[in-house]
Amino acid sequence: MDQLSNVTVIVNDDAVGTVPNTVKFDEGFGEQKMRAMSVGNDQVEQVYSKDVETAVGSVKFEMPVTVPNIELVRSWKSRGNTNVVSVIGTTRDGTVTRTFQQAAVLSNYEVEIGSETSIPVEFSSNAPI
């Protein structure tokens, strides 16, 4: 079995160069909760619920600090939640593809200037398809 270690990130139909080993995604299933409900006679039943407030997908990665990359991140931020981000990884065992629609860069991004620096980018979105 092969470890998935090399992925392609596509934002708004353009492939993006990322720093190796920095791509992460969250499936956006959200948290689930289990509570006990008393039904009398010393009996309880489980009540299962999904916290839909936490059902948000995300994609995180880092990009080398270059002038074109700074402008890319700026453009993604300015588009609000109209970005589409895909993460595609392939090994001999198969392919993993996740597409995050209505993706937005919610937090401020930081640009650190230097020869070994990167721009951390985080998109929040609907759960991926």
Q: Count of domains in the chain? A: 1
Q: Domain of residue 46: give its range.
A: 7-125
The answer, as to whether pTM is greater than 0.85, is yes
The answer to whether position 13 is within a domain reads yes
**Residue 60 parent element (H or E):** strand 57-64
pLDDT at 129: 84
User: CA-to-CA distance for 54 and 64, rounded, in angstroms?
Assistant: 30
> In this structure, is residue 38 part of a structural domain?
yes
Q: What percent of the chain has pLDDT over 90?
A: 91
1 lies in a domain? no
* Assigned domain for 47 exists: yes
> Where residue 119 sits, what CATH number does that domain have?
2.40.30
Domain assignment present for 2: no
76-109: per-residue pLDDT in tens? 999 999 999 999 999 999 999 999 999 999 999 9
Does any domain span residue 116? yes
